[in-house]
Amino acid sequence: METESTLKKIFSSVLGISETAITGTTSPANTPSWDSMNAIVLITEIEKAFGVRFSYDEAMGVKTFADVIALVQSKRP
């Protein structure tokens, strides 16, 4: 749950949306502020917050907030 909470804070800050509005299905398709520029900012902020690095393919494979949670959890011990 800590991972999800931290990610919601990052998404809220970068995308300018309420943490309560962020669900597993939150995606670029239903979140206008999740554009290509903010996608880069999200990845950078997530990498900093969790001390992880994502490959290009991993970053491009993210389609929803749930995907982000799974990706971060896969990188953590």
CATH of the domain at 21: 1.10.1200.10
- Residue 1: its pLDDT value, please? 65
Best CA proximity match to 32, nearest among 46, 16, 43 = 16
Chain centroid, CA 4 distance in Å: 9
Per-residue pLDDT of the chain (77 residues; tens, 9 = 90+): 699 999 999 999 999 999 999 999 999 999 999 999 999 999 999 999 999 999 999 999 999 999 999 999 999 87
| Tally of domains within the chain | 1
CA quadruple 12, 69, 30, 41: dihedral, nearest 10: 50
What pTM, to 2 d.p., does this model score? 0.94
- Tokens encoding 3: 């991972």
Whole domain around residue 40: which residue ranges?
Answer: 2-75
Distance CA 35, CA 71 (A): 19
